[in-house]
Structure 1
Amino acid sequence: MVANMTGKVALVTGAGRGVGRGIALEMAAAGAAVVVNDLGSSLKGDDGADTSPAQQVVDEIVQAGGRAVANGDSVASYEGAHEMVRAAIDNFGRIDAVVNNAGNLRDTLFHKMEEDDFDAVIAVHLKGSFNVSRAAASFFKEQGSGAYVHMTSTSGLVGNFGQANYSAAKLGVAGLSKSIALDMARFGVRSNAVAPFAWTRMVDSIPATTPEQIKRIEGLKKLVPEKIAPFVVALCSDAGAKVSGQIFGVRNNEIYLFSQPRPIRTAHTSDGWTPDSVAERVFPMFEKDFYPLHRSGDVFTWDPV
């Protein structure tokens, strides 16, 4: 087995259901001991914790002959993030991979979005990814190795309707991943972001009222969450040792490498710009290269395979 995780320890957040569950099971199948973290809350993340989803995944792993422990701490808590990393150290003696998968949704149109809707999503997706990554960083640095995988989204990379909070968080996650890759490369630590396409509780919450929306939802139902796991495990294994600072997408049997922002046009003047010269020269010069207001579904229009 090339992408082997034998002897390694992985922490997977939001691993009680959906994509996270698939990753935890695949990690264990590849030989890793797994800390299965899940708060067990609703999609909004505002109700009481229930660790039973995490424990159910642990039971599946143990019954298959693997090693795993459940953890119910919140990624939104800096102390909680340290507790889940400590669970890996206390139970298995080390930590080798962190998969930041935990998420919540508070979808609403921007002009109707409340501060709490924004803060709650940023706290889980972006701050949560920082919290857990930072908690593991000292161990990764000391041992001279480690792998991060952070879940981003085409809602942030491309755009989506009614998801200003989620889009901002997920594009922030891509930036966080790149910064970690740059800062920790000298310690043998790598960091990548993955945009998963999968039918999960979160996707199931998307409203569908028009025929077009209903058709899109039916297409999304074909996206199997377990299909994300093999790529994530490969990234975390030694086979992914030379892969860092990248943004990928996984959509059933398709794997994407996303572009990253770089300059595509320049305008220069020896006299310096004025508002009028910008309006007269720069806007017309750049206009043909402006990106349209695409949503994710406008870009990924073909049926998943």
Structure 2
Amino acid sequence: MGVSPGTAYGPVVQVAPPVRPPAHEPAVDDEEAALADVKAAFESVAVSLEQRATRVEDTAQQILKATALIARDKGLVKAASKELAAGHGRANSIANAVETYAAQFEALGGYFAERVADLRDVGSRAVAAVLGVAAPGVPAFSEPSVIVAEDLAPAETATLDRSLVVGIITEAGGRTSHTAILAAQMGIPAVVQLPHATQIPAGTPIALDGDSGEVTIAPDMSLVTAQRERAARRKEALAHLSGPGRTSDGAEIALLANIGGVDDAVAAGAQDLEGVGLFRTEFVYLSATKAPTVEEQVEIYRGVFAPFEGRRVVVRTLDAGADKPL
């Protein structure tokens, strides 16, 4: 399934799989001390995500901060505490607690089901922290490549080097997953729900089409050339288009941006858009350590409205709860 438009070609870089707990981890001797370790592991994940958030732009920043809030969810710690009491070790208690919540999210379906990747990434990082091993993630590489993973969590997608990552392929995910949202925002072609993607050997040349969802392993260079020529024609055509959006038969369809703050507004305002379809004001709260004052919100709103003078801006007053606790 294509979720971010464009084409890409390059060698495969396989993302390290999630850290799993030991199969035969012994029960803990001191539940209180073990619970303290579990709490510290979740907190270290939250802090790491918040640190990454300082290095990215508005929407990515808010997604990372929302994921950090998952790591601080008291319900996860409580569930892990029950697992410790049931005789499980630290790592398995974290993993079991996360899977309990993941099952609930998957049962709800839709938006919640697509947050399971974020939840499991938090769990995997907490397991790594409590075991004292490196967290999962994208390995170092030096040439333009296609990132392939079971799924990419916000912590990974938001901090990808755009000069080196030419495309993204995952086995999981969906159109409204954070991988899809961030890839589209960053202009990186992406395909999700590709079966057995993680079995493609690292270094294998691969071509992908983020519009059609097509992926070709070890493609003939004529296909790559055709994709590049099509992309060039599309870019050229778009460069000469302007004005209201409409289909070829004349039906009007407004081209609107979704934004999470002033930085997003400034970037989107410079484009040939008809306005903002959704300004997610909850991100204003999620990016602050305390509720912004009326005066601070006024300045933020002014900063958002200014780039769209004369154009429509739809404001969502607040969307809190679930993965956005305030």
Could you state the TM-score of these two structures normalised by the residue count of structure 2? Answer: 0.24
* Greater radius of gyration (CA): 2
Higher relative contact order (CA 8 A, sep 6+): 2
